[in-house]
Chain A
Amino acid sequence: MKRSLKIEETVFRVLMILSTAFILLILGVIMYSVFEKGMKAISWEMLTSIPSGGYYYGKGGGILNAITGSMALAFGATILAFVIGLPVALYINVFLHGKKKLVNFIRFILDLIWGIPSIVYGAFGFTLMVLIGLQTSLLAGIVTVTLFILPIMIRSMDEILRTVPTGLMEAAYSLGSNKSELAFKIFTRQSVSGIITAVLLSFGRAIGDAASVLFTAGYTDNLPNSLMEPVATLPLSIFFQLASPVPEVQARAYASALVLTVIILIVSLFSRGLGKRYHKTKINF
């Protein structure tokens, strides 16, 4: 009895260590293969020029159109989602404070929306575009991506805002502030670090998602210059270049994947760093 127990525990311990090692190894392999393939193909020209004629057959040019397009799209969507998302998160935590059932219901709806696949947003955005008579454009892409990152933004802000102590709230009320002042002046300031993390998380999601922009943002070789024109995005440029039979173009897809990965890593580094930095402005109880 005693021995079989011991053996069982040892077997499972080994399995545990193996699966943990497996996860670490997989991350290593992903990073290695993306960096190894990408570093070979990347060049300064690729980062600073737009595709010239014959780019997709292996001639000169770069992916600046996709880099700037992705940035414009992700910035636009993040700002729009922030403008809609922050008030919702504040409303849940300040105005609905104490109404537990309603708040839980809203959180539940948000979690449901969070679970919807991005391709569904893409299809939805595409349908709306056709209904309104809009072409594939930066604007349509921004709106679709905004819908997609809204629940992520709101729920992450909400998780931080709900930790603001009631004492702080009561202190603000006793000094005569009204609810919206409490929300925007006290709650927002107390949760700056968490809000920044939420914004950067959403930005990372916005820049990396391909399925929602596939129908709505379109693709172009030009730099983005108007809200009404299509834009190129990095995930799609990777996808299209990989589909090419020309090896040079495929190599560029790996380089583009490297660029996207580095952007994502920088964003996640920033969110860790900034989160720590603004922790100091928080009032501790």
Chain B
Amino acid sequence: MYILNRQQRHVVNYSWMLVSLLLVACLPFLLFSVLYFKSFLLLRNFGLGDLIFSHSWHPSKGEFGFYPFIVGSIWVTLLAILISTPICLLTAINVTQYAKKRFLRIMHPVIDILAGLPSVVYGVWGLLVIVPFISRYLGPWLGIRTMGYSILAGAFVLSIMIIPFILNIIIEIFRTIPMELKEAALSLGSTKWQMVKHVLLRKALPGIIAAVGFGLARAFGETMAVLMVVGNVVKVPTSVFDPGYTLPALIANNYGEVLSIPRYDSALMFAALLLLVVSLFFNLLMHFFIARYNKY
């Protein structure tokens, strides 16, 4: 029935597993070294500080200042986190502490679908709903002239995209809080809200911070949806209604021209390297944060 005997099959399976594992484990180092190797050309010529803090972006003249993109990315990401964190936190408290069990069963598919929608679909939705909303209603209402394609539009679409991600983690964290703690608080005469405020939130705080951190890392690297609504103008934004440009959008928009301008490919790979480092750094930080906290 089999070509190989049991022992041989075991060896084949075992080596297959080991090779796969090594491949996966080497992946982050491989990614880092390839991107570093490609951006080395740029780093050698300009130095890290110059690249990050220089304002002028003129690839054809050989000037590569990433400052506008970095600032754009940070604005969009932070704004998105500011919008989604309170919504996630309040919903998680509602769903796990107040609402009926049945309601959680409705919420789960909703979160799954939101998490599963491709970023291009979010982008289309942003173009159809958010951009016109900002240019026609929100902008005029606040007395600001805006095209709609703005940091705010990017941040809003992004915040919706990371809601399912953060919400899922926070719900999981609330589940791990021991029932006894909550019951103890209630039996001492605290109201439900006091219990939530002083026991649940305090106990879950490190987890909540970690969830937000993971969300931040995810938001920082999101490409297509933001690219479609953020405006893509190379300028340091001065208000949330200004158009901006993010690092991922920079890579996605310009890959086609890289081979015609010298050092351009190196510049885009440097942008990718920045994204990789930021993502790895935040994830590492949050993991150690959780690990440290879990000891107590």
Chain A interfacial positions (CB closer than 8 Å to B): 5, 8-9, 12-13, 15-20, 22-24, 26-27, 29-30, 33-34, 37, 84-85, 87-88, 90-92, 95, 106, 108-113, 115-124, 126-128, 130, 147, 150-151, 154, 178-181, 183-184, 201, 204, 207-211, 214-215, 235, 238-239, 242, 253-254, 257, 260-261, 264-265, 267-268, 272
Contacts and interface: CB of A to CB of B under 8 A. Distances in A.
Nearest to B271: A123
B129 interface: yes
Interface in B184-199: 191-194
Interface in B77-135: 86-88, 90-91, 93-95, 98-99, 107, 109-110, 112-114, 116-125, 127-129
A110 B21 CA distance: 10
A120 B279 contact: yes
Given A91-B18, A268-B113, A253 B223 contact: no
Interface residues of B: mostly helix, strand, loop or mixed?
Answer: helix
Given A116-B276, A179-B14, 8 more contacts: A20-B90, A23-B87, A95-B14, A150-B27, A180-B14, A204-B116, A210-B119, A214-B252
B244 interface: no
Interface of B: 6, 9-10, 13-14, 16-18, 20-21, 23-25, 27-28, 31, 34-35, 38, 86-88, 90-91, 93-95, 98-99, 107, 109-110, 112-114, 116-125, 127-129, 160, 163, 167, 191-194, 214, 217-218, 220-224, 228, 248, 251-252, 255, 265, 268-269, 271-272, 275-276, 279-280, 282-284, 287
B12 to A, nearest CB: 8
A30 B120 CA distance: 12
A111 B124 CA distance: 29
Contacts of B124: 34, 238, 242, 253-254, 257
B16 A87 contact: yes
Nearest to B114: A27
Nearest to A238: B120
Contacts of B275: 117, 119-120
B285 to A, nearest CB: 11
Contact of A29 (B91, B93, B109, B129): B129
A208 B86 contact: no
B17 A91 contact: yes
Contacts of B193: 5, 8-9, 12-13
Contacts of B276: 116-117, 120
A69 to B, nearest CB: 14
Contacts of A126: 255
Pairs A-B, 10 closest by C-beta atoms: A117-B221, A208-B118, A123-B272, A180-B13, A16-B94, A9-B193, A211-B223, A87-B17, A91-B17, A235-B120
Contacts of B18: 91
A12 B90 contact: yes
B112 A268 contact: yes
A110 B93 contact: no
A257 B295 CA distance: 47
A263 B99 CA distance: 32
Contact of B95 (A20, A30, A204, A210): A20
22 contacts: A5-B191, A5-B193, A16-B90, A18-B90, A34-B125, A87-B16, A87-B17, A91-B17, A112-B28, A115-B217, A116-B28, A116-B279, A116-B280, A127-B35, A178-B10, A204-B116, A208-B116, A208-B118, A210-B120, A211-B223, A214-B255, A268-B109
Contacts of A29: 125, 129
Contacts of B93: 16
Contacts of B38: 127
Contact of A210 (B87, B118, B287): B118
A264 B116 contact: yes
Given A126-B255, A264-B118, A239 B228 contact: yes
A33 B109 CA distance: 19
Contact of B110 (A27, A85, A183): A27
B118 A180 contact: no
Given A88-B21, A91-B21, A115-B214, A179 B10 contact: yes
Contacts of B24: 84, 88, 109-110, 113, 150-151, 154
Nearest to B23: A84
B98 A33 contact: no
B208 to A, nearest CB: 15
A113 B113 CA distance: 23
Given A90-B17, A116-B221, A23 B91 contact: yes
B220 A117 contact: yes
Nearest to A8: B193
Contacts of B122: 30
A117 B129 contact: no
B279 to A, nearest CB: 5
Candidate in A116, A179, A184 with the most chain B CB atoms within 10 angstroms: A116
B137 to A, nearest CB: 15
A19 B248 contact: no
